[in-house]
Amino acid sequence: MNSSAGLPELASRLLLGTSSFTANGWQGTFYPRGLKAADYLPYYAEHFSTVEIDSTFYACPAARTVANWEARVPEGFVFSVKAPQVITHEKILRDCGAELGEFLKTMDLLGPKLGPIVLQFPYFGRAVLPDRHAFTDRLVPFLKKLPGGYRFAVEIRNAGWLDAELSNLLRDYRVALVLQDRSWMSDPAAFKFDPITAEWTYIRWLGDRKWVGDRQGENEVRFDKEVIDRTEELSCWVDYCYRLRKRGVWQYGYANNHYSGYAPGTIAQFRRLWREAGHGELVGGVAGASGSDRKRVAVQGDLFG
């Protein structure tokens, strides 16, 4: 069991990263041309202090894989991971104790580098779960059995289920509600309830897959440049995150390639907007991370500024 669970040192810390650390189009844009795949993660840790691992959603990884992740980044780096879909999509929180136990045992290999564990649920049609209460009838028994020493976050994609009642339920168990930026989900800043349900929160800039794909036509989708201007949305997020920071809320924020077309560029833009708003500099990579030459790779301006 990991008692520290990726807790930042300061209550005002805002950790930023991307959803996974590899993507089609990053070689030669984010990663220098010729860099070996085995060196991607150490290089990534030079520029980001955290990453969201997407692959764990599809299956629990091998222990050897997780141990390799842990060994290739410096102390202070944080891995956020998604719980396997067998728990959230197939069994929908019932009779999944064995799968959860195996997953947590494997993630424990990350030690203090393990951060939040995300329970990402799909949009539930009425044929699967008729309403939010049918969902919480499954959620509450599951939360009661969760072991201590971990940080769990819940992502809900049924927008109508998000209200003060659900927020209070998660707060009772100190589980974070994932805040999302996507077309059919409400803006957290506009909620009529407080969506911060733990001493920390989890933010995902997700966008929509179709939007990015449409802008690249019939060609193979490459995530190597911005194809959607997100300046307005990110400026609002900068204001919102700054208010959370003043409250002392720890924040983990992750950009998906489908948000604007290029996740590293989205985080670079957020950092730039944060600085231009007068909030100071945001920490990039982890102190102590080492790479071949620490050169900055740019596509449009200074990626890591």
Kindly list the structural domains of the chain, giving each domain's residue range(s) and its CATH number in brackets, ordered by start.
14-276 (3.20.20.410)
Q: What is the pLDDT of residue 218?
A: 53
Neighbours of 36 (CB within 10 A): 8
Comparing CA positions, the residue from 107, 92, 53 lying closest to residue 254 is 53
Report the DSSP beta bridge partners of residue 202: 178, 252
Report the DSSP beta bridge partners of residue 53: 81
Q: What is the pLDDT of residue 264?
A: 98
Cα distance between residue 236 and residue 134, in whole Å: 34
**Whether 107 contacts 81, CB under 8 Å:** yes
> Which pTM was predicted?
0.90
Cα distance between residue 143 and residue 148, in whole Å: 11
Q: What is the pLDDT of residue 184?
A: 85
Q: What is the pLDDT of residue 106?
A: 98
Comparing CA positions, the residue from 274, 273, 264, 277 lying closest to residue 304 is 264
User: How wide is the angle at C-alpha 267 spanned by C-alphas 14 and 20, nearest 5°?
Assistant: 90
Q: What is the pLDDT of residue 248?
A: 92
Ranges in the chain, pLDDT < 70: 1-12, 211-219, 287-288, 290-305
Cα distance between residue 305 and residue 303, in whole Å: 6
Q: What is the pLDDT of residue 181?
A: 96
Q: What is the pLDDT of residue 10?
A: 42
Contact residues for 164 (Cβ-Cβ < 8 A; gap 6+): 192, 193
DSSP state of 201: E
Tens-digit pLDDT profile for residues 97-151: 999 999 999 999 999 999 999 999 999 999 999 999 999 999 999 999 999 999 9
**Whether 57 contacts 120, CB under 8 Å:** yes
Q: What is the pLDDT of residue 216?
A: 58
